[in-house]
Amino acid sequence: MRRLGYVALLLAGLLVLSAGHALSGERRLVLVGSPELRSLNLNAAEIRQLFLGYAVTKDNHDVTAAINKSDALLYEVFLQKVIFMSSQTYERQLVAKVFRYGGQLPPSFARPEELTAALNSRPGLVTFMWEDNMRQLPGVTVVNELWHGSIE
């Protein structure tokens, strides 16, 4: 009976901790892609190149990025914590890159199901999303952590 009490206490403690965690708004922004990209250890410079519209070749993978616009807050955090630009400046940079080197603008998705379909059908395609949203998606894995912290 005493053992059961300890377990109950431990569970209650975990519940309180996880509730506190959720209340503080702590979230993880992750780079996701197909499972073959799981071991692809992209560094910050490579991730930045990807989201500025360049293709990056690493470990025999041609990696390209898609812009996830399915969640306004997610996009804003991505701009502030990963790209360090306002949306206007960022979108101007993307056009400037195509103007300079040719190629295409990164594909942009406003609907999660279209984004998931693209990640499953285009080899080497990566994007960013909240880790807790990613867990619900089939055939998608975390490639890198981009940022974690509280959202005020």
Pairing of strands 108-109, 67-68: parallel
Binding of other proteins by 110 (CB under 8 A): no
Residue with tokens 């500025």: 52
Among 18, 86, 121, 150, binds other proteins (CB under 8 A): 86
Task: Restricting to residues 123-152, name those near other proteins by CB under 8 A.
Answer: none
The phi, psi pair for 147, rounded to 5°, reads -170, 150
What is d(CA 124, CA 56) in angstroms, rounded to the nearest whole number? 9
- Using the 8-state DSSP alphabet, how is residue 30 labeled? E
**Positions 52 through 81 that interact with other proteins (CB under 8 A):** 54-57
- Beta carbon nearer to other proteins, 84 or 151: 84
Q: Does 6 bind other proteins (CB under 8 A)?
A: no
Nearest to 142 by CA among 42, 26, 22: 42
Where do contacts with other proteins occur on this chain (CB under 8 A)?
Answer: 43-49, 54-57, 82, 84-89, 91-92, 95-96, 98-105, 107
